[in-house]
Structure formats: C-alpha cells, structure tokens
C-alpha cells in the first residue's frame, strides 16, 4: 500500500481520501501539519487507488481491514490514533471506529460522506465497476479525466503533482490509476457504523457540498458540523478549517 508520512511523536493522524482520489489530496492540509499537529501523520492510497495495488474486492470491511493492517505497525501504545477521512475515506474511518479491525482510534472525523443513495445511483456505480479501464491517447487527457472523476476539477491544476498521482501509463496508453472495480463498494452503512463506534465519531460537510445535506448528516449525528462555505473537498479549499475541527474535537 502506498503511504506518505512524516512527523515525530507518539500520536498518529491517519488521513483517508475519497473514492477515485489519492493521498495527495491531503497536500494542502499536510502543508500546515507542523503548526497544527504535535505528532506523526500518515496518508495512504486506498486499495485500488493511486500507487496502491488493486484488491480482490472493495467492500467496506475488506478495505478497512487492509488499512488497519497497514497502520497497525505504526501505532504507539502510549499515543493517540486520530483518523480523518473524506467521503469514502470517512466511511472507512467509521469502520475502524468499531474496533473490528484490531485497533480503536482515539477519535474519528468523517467529512463529506454521501449517506443517501438512490437505486439508480447504485446501479450506475455497479455498471462502472463492470467496465474495463478507459484509456487515453495522452497523459493530459487522462489527467483532465481524473480531475473530473475525483471531483477536483476547478480546484487542482491538471499540471500539478496531485493530478499526476491519479493517472498511470500501461501497454494500452494512459488511464486513471483507480481500479474501476472499486466502484462496487455499494451503499455504505453509515448510521450502523456510527452506532457501533467505540470512540467519539464526528460527521461534517462543507456548506456547499452537493453530495450530502446537513439535515441528512444530523439524522445520524445530531452534532454534525458545517465546515464553512465550501464544497465537497473542504480539505483542499479550506485546510485550516479542517484543522480547527480536529482541534475542537
């Protein structure tokens, strides 16, 4: 599993990205880490994303188990484990909070989780999972497609390292680094995972996030917060607001 990490100390902040993205989306937040976090940090590419290898399956439990296996050797017994997840990464963070995977975080923060899914949306996700990876003639085309798929269009420049991490070249040309089968994750059981959490778990969203409403989140977490006038990718638009959320928790 591809991992970026840094810092010193007993505490560990684990950063989990969303569907189709890579750990590089945490770059703006990590640029402030020395001033905002007294400990180590770790950002990884989820299975089938970025530099991490494809997985046999992408159910929430399978992904959470893979993440736990990668993180466990880095946990210090005297330190705290704080998990910050975005979108799909937020669901994985909540799965870790159940304690089913060999660790129990000190606290979990999950931003921008889509909690309401229509049958049509689930059918479209299943259809995407069944299609082979689409190839592009040029790297530029692949990068532009990656930004659209990951929701980063308009936030990240196509020439940036963040965009470059989302694509790769194989014998047939340029393609997205994400394994299309990862779309088969299904409907995330967010409410159930919140009820099973063995540590404090907090939900939040940008006020302009089209993926989820505050009302939907507060039906699951009455204390769900709005993270300012931002969209789905708050960690890129306003990393300082994310740090404030962690500090307040």
Tell me the CATH number at 23.
Answer: 3.40.50.1820
Pairing assessment for the beta strands 107-111 and 201-205 based on DSSP bridges: parallel
Count: domains in the chain = 1
Residue found under tokens 């880490």: 33
Domain-embedded: residue 44: yes
Whole-number Å distance between alpha carbons of 238 and 78: 31
- For the four alpha carbons of 60, 62, 127 and 134, in that order, the dihedral sign comes to positive
Check if the beta carbon of residue 48 is closer than 8 Å to that of residue 91. Answer: no
Instruction: Please answer whether residues 122 and 186 qualify as being in contact, where contact means their C-beta atoms are separated by less than 8 angstroms.
Output: yes
Q: Is residue 155 part of a domain?
A: no
Could you give the CA distance from residue 221 to residue 111 in angstroms, rounded to a whole number? 12
Does residue 180 lie within any of the structural domains? no
Q: Over the stretch 107-125, which tens digit does the pLDDT of each residue have? A: 999 999 999 999 999 999 9
Please indicate, yes or no, if residue 124 is contained in any of the structural domains: no
Q: Which range marks the domain in which residue 207 is found?
A: 3-117+185-248
Residue 27 lies in a domain: yes
Specify the pTM. Answer: 0.96
* Domain presence at residue 154: no
- Return the pLDDT at 249: 77
| Contact call for residues 94 and 20 (beta carbons, < 8 A) | no
* Cα-Cα-Cα-Cα dihedral sign, residues 234, 111, 81, 219: positive
Residue 2 near residue 70 (C-beta atoms within 8 A): no
How far apart (Å, rounded) are the C-alpha atoms in residues 14 and 239?
A: 15
Q: Are 75 and 41 in contact (CB under 8 A)?
A: no
Residue 219, both tokens: 């039906």
Does 209 map to a domain?
yes
* 165 lies in some domain: no
Q: Residue 77: which pLDDT band, with cuts at 50, 70 and 90?
A: confident
- Please write the tens of the pLDDT for every residue from 15-32: 999 999 999 999 999 999
């Amino acid at each position: 599993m591809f991992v970026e990490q840094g810092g010193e100390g007993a505490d560990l902040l684990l950063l989990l990205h969303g569907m189709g993205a890579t750990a590089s989306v945490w770059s703006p937040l990590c640029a402030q880490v020395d001033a905002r976090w007294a400990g180590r940090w770790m950002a990884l590419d989820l299975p089938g994303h970025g530099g991490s290898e494809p997985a046999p399956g992408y159910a929430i439990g399978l992904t959470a188990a893979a993440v736990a296996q990668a993180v466990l050797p880095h946990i210090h017994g005297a330190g705290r484990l704080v998990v910050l997840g975005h979108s799909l990464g937020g669901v994985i963070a909540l799965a870790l909070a159940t304690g089913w995977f060999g660790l129990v975080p000190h606290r979990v923060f999950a931003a921008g989780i889509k909690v309401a899914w229509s049958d049509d949306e689930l059918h479209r996700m299943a259809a995407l999972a069944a299609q082979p990876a689409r190839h592009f003639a040029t790297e530029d085309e692949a990068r532009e497609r990656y930004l659209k798929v990951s929701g980063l269009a308009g936030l990240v420049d196509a020439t940036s390292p963040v965009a470059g991490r989302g694509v790769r070249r194989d014998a047939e040309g340029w393609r997205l680094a994400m394994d299309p089968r990862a779309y088969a994750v299904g409907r995330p059981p967010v409410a159930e995972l919140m009820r099973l959490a063995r540590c404090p778990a907090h939900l939040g969203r940008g006020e302009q996030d089209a993926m989820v409403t505050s009302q939907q989140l507060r039906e699951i977490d009455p204390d769900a917060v709005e993270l300012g006038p931002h969209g789905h990718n708050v960690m890129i638009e306003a990393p300082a607001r994310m740090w404030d959320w962690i500090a307040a928790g």
